Amino acid sequence: MTNKVKNRIIQLRKDLSEYNYQYYVQNQSLISDYDFDVLLKELEDLENSYPEFSDENSPTKRVGGDITKNFPSIKHQYPMLSLSNSYSKDEIIDFEKRVIKLIDQDVAFTCELKYDGVAISLTYLDGKLLRAVTRGDGERGEDVTANARTINSIPLQLRGNYPKRFEIRGEVVFPHKAFNLLNEKRKQNNEQLFSNPRNTASGTMKMHDSSVVAKRNLDCYLYGLYSDKLLFDSSFEVFDELAKWGFKSPSSNNRYVEKVNSIDGVMDFINYWDKERSNLPFDIDGVVIKVDRLDFQNELGSTAKSPRWAIAYKFKAERVSTTLEKISYQVGRTGAITPVAFLKPIQLGGTIVKRASIHNADQMSKLNLHLGDTVFVEKGGEIIPKIIEVDFSKRSEESKPAKFISKCPECNSDLVRNEGEAQHYCKNEINCPPQIKGAIEHFVGRKRMDIDGFGSETVDLLYENNLINNFSDIYDLSYNDLIPLERIAEKSASNLIKSIEASKAVPFERVLFSLGIRHVGETVAKKLAKYFKTIYRLMLATLEELVEVDEIGDKIAVSLIEYFNNDKQKLVINNLINHGLNFTIVEEDQNSDVFKGMNIVVSGKFNSLSRDEIKKLIQENGGKVVSSVSSKTDLLVAGENMGAK
């Protein structure tokens, strides 16, 4: 009897998965909705009666029901980088030139739709969905597996000949039909309508009750395959395989994806979809252009923020007119002053816009803004609203020009503007509240000191209660300091103190990045830490010594010298040193120095080792891996199909 039940459960799962695949991926209905529901109910009853045969990837999980109180933070095995944006053919041509310069031969491109949805990363093991993680900050995301299982176009069990373990990335979208139906129901119930599909999809994926997610009928298109081994030669080839495995992915049949051999081919694809995007069943905001060959992608690599082998072309933003009511000024953590326009609320790109950036004094002057002006607003890259121009025909004769301020709106210090820079700055970084709080928020953030539970609200609370006035004060906090404060419970206080203590193990390069020195980002901090080894050598470095470091120019060097010449900043650093933070780099053991001082290019396909493994061996033995052959190249490690190098 038990074997009979088990076999029936297996058969039902197989049949229901096939019906799901045919309906949601292949757009074919092999069974009526009623018959499908009957089979699903039978499977649900059997699983409830025989829990020993339960399976987290059963088709019954599509209806949801899991309650998630929080979404665990998961580190991505492969960082989820963001794409660089372009807005013209010239910028696409520049992208091609950069690629050819590094690869040293002509390349083909894969063009895809840029879905306006929520980035998702799915991990599969032995053909079963193991985990679904949001993009987050690119390094870490949130585990939303329970919600992802409710999306019918995400396969729970793969088909065909798939790898044992891999990661696939794509976009969760809210189809127009499902979104409009949801808003219609909300309208009937006198509930506030959702503004646009993308934001609603994002909010839906963060819902704690997966049964609610299941009812919203989200969709998902998958397009990026990641594995320790190079599984295919071409980005374009991947899409055919993904369909065989059961994924809903872009297809050349409907022109969602095309392989082209020229910039003219790229522009044909862009122009076609710029006109046709309104006929799609979901929103897109542009086109993604990728170097087609995957070995070339590996060779090109990435910057700290974006891959060098791909770029996004963003469609021209929607533009509307409204009234400029007033201008206020925001102070950033570096003291930069940004004028912000307050507008008469207007609908733009699916959201209500009330504010727009003016960037700086030069832009304010260029626009010739007067309070009360009728202005044209668009979303830069369809994300951040900005004022494009003024409708001078509607300007009142009584209106007065907007003038940029001369003093900090927060601490009343005189503003300065450095030669060659567009921004005005408040230099009172030690006593200006937004700069103090901004510096602390930067210090505790991810990729820096990564202190859990130390968000902006906590920073405000501790600052307002005079418990912290700079980030070194964080390490003076005690459990007894936190307990009397509103909104901080005993467990939160205990966890925060533990997280502060754990942050003392953060390596030197991240501590240096955390200090928030102007122009010193993540990559620059790594180069400085590796070169100078200790904070003491860095603090004493001259301009000449600083610019000797790879990619460090005069601007960064001057910023470092100014920072370390500030007595108050030096006092903060000394306090951090006394609290036990790492201000000395811990060198990784090298196997040898056989490649010391050598610039080495790795190109082509390899059988015994992956390209990344070869690069790691070179670095572990003192060498520097570079992407292109030049007069400075000492060694070329050549694999199959390496091209013209």
Residue 94 gets the label, from left (phi > 0), alpha (psi -120 to 50) or beta, of: alpha
Is 316 an annotated catalytic residue? no
Average model confidence (pLDDT) for the chain? 88
The pLDDT score that the predictor gives to residue 27 is: 64
What's the whole-model pTM score? 0.65
* Closest to 285 (Cα-Cα) out of 215, 380, 370: 380
CATH, residue 388: 2.40.50.140
Distance (Å, rounded) from C-alpha 564 to C-alpha 130?
Answer: 48
Please check whether residues 464 and 498 belong to one and the same domain: yes
- Please check whether residue 76 lies inside any domain of the structure: no
Q: What is the mean pLDDT of residues 275-279?
A: 90
* Residue 236 included in any domain: yes
**pLDDT tens digits along 38-95:** 788 888 888 888 888 878 778 787 776 666 777 888 989 999 988 998 989 999 999 9
The answer to whether residue 637 sits within a structural domain is: no
Structural domains counted in the chain: 5
Distance CA 299, CA 406 (A): 49
Pairing of strands 109-115, 118-125: unpaired
Q: Are 158 and 210 found together in one domain?
A: yes
Residue 52 in any domain: the answer is: yes
Q: Tell me which of 32 and 126 has the higher pLDDT.
A: 126
* Catalytic residue (one of 14, 69, 97, 114): 114
Q: 303 and 193 in one domain?
A: yes
- CA-closest candidate to residue 152, choices 245, 42, 20: 20
Q: Is residue 185 part of a domain?
A: yes
Closest CA to 260 of 284, 292, 293, 298: 292
Beta carbons of 242 and 256 less than 8 angstroms apart: no
490 and 484 Cβ atoms separated by less than 8 Å: no
In a domain, 491, yes or no: yes
Cα distance from N-terminal residue to C-terminal residue, the chain: 66
Note the Cα 188 to chain centre separation in Å. 36
Sign of CA dihedral 237, 240, 244, 250: positive
Q: Are residues 281 and 397 in the same domain?
A: no
Is residue 72 one of the residues assigned to a domain? Answer: no
Q: Do 397 and 453 fall within a single domain?
A: no
- What token pair was written down for 124? 């599969």
Alpha-carbon distances of 514 from 202, 305, 507, 543, rounded to whole Å: 29, 17, 11, 22
Same domain, 296 and 362: no
Return all residues near 506 (Cβ < 8 A) that are at least 6 apart: 448, 449, 450, 514, 581, 582
Instruction: Looking at the structure, tell me whether residues 170 and 284 fall in a common domain.
Output: yes
| β-strand partners of 128 | 125, 157
One domain for residues 325 and 299: no
My answer on whether 206 and 240 are in the same domain is yes
Least confident of 210-214, 466-470, 623-627: 623-627
Q: Which domain holds residue 35?
A: 2-63
Q: Could you say which of 272, 289, 312 is where a domain stops? A: 312
Measured from the Cβ of residue 366, the count of other Cβ atoms closer than 10 Å reads 12
Question: 575-614 pLDDT, tens per residue?
Answer: 999 999 999 987 655 567 788 888 888 887 777 677 777 8
pLDDT digits (tens, 9 = 90+) for 166-186: 999 999 999 999 999 999 988
Where residue 128 sits, what CATH number does that domain have? 3.30.470.30
Tokens of 175: 């189809």
Q: Is residue 481 part of a domain?
A: yes
Q: Are residues 22 and 144 in the same domain?
A: no
Residues 58 and 148 in one domain: no
Q: What is the pLDDT of residue 602?
A: 85
In this structure, are 487 and 515 located in the same domain? no
Q: What is the CATH number of the domain that holds 24?
A: 1.10.287.610
Last residue of a domain, one of 273, 296, 312: 312
Measured at the alpha carbon of residue 604, what is the angle toward residues 526 and 622, in degrees to the nearest 5? 35
Q: What is the mean pLDDT of the segment spanning 320-348?
A: 92
User: Do residues 497 and 443 touch, judged by C-beta distance below 8 A?
Assistant: no
State residue 134's pLDDT score.
94
Cβ proximity of 245 and 162 under 8 Å: yes
Q: Tell which of 280, 312, 344 closes a domain.
A: 312
Query: Tell me, what CATH number does 520's domain have?
Result: 1.10.150.20
Question: Is the predicted pLDDT of residue 571 greater than 70, yes or no?
Answer: yes
Per-residue pLDDT at 240? 85
SS3 content of the chain, % helix, strand, coil (to 5): 40, 20, 40
Contact indicator for 330, 360 with CB cutoff of 8 Å: no
**Cα 80 to Cα 60, 237, 464, distances in angstroms:** 31, 22, 36
- Given the structure tokens 């470091």, which residue do they identify? 549
Distance, in Å, from the CA atom of 79 to the CA atom of 627, rounded to the nearest integer, reads 20
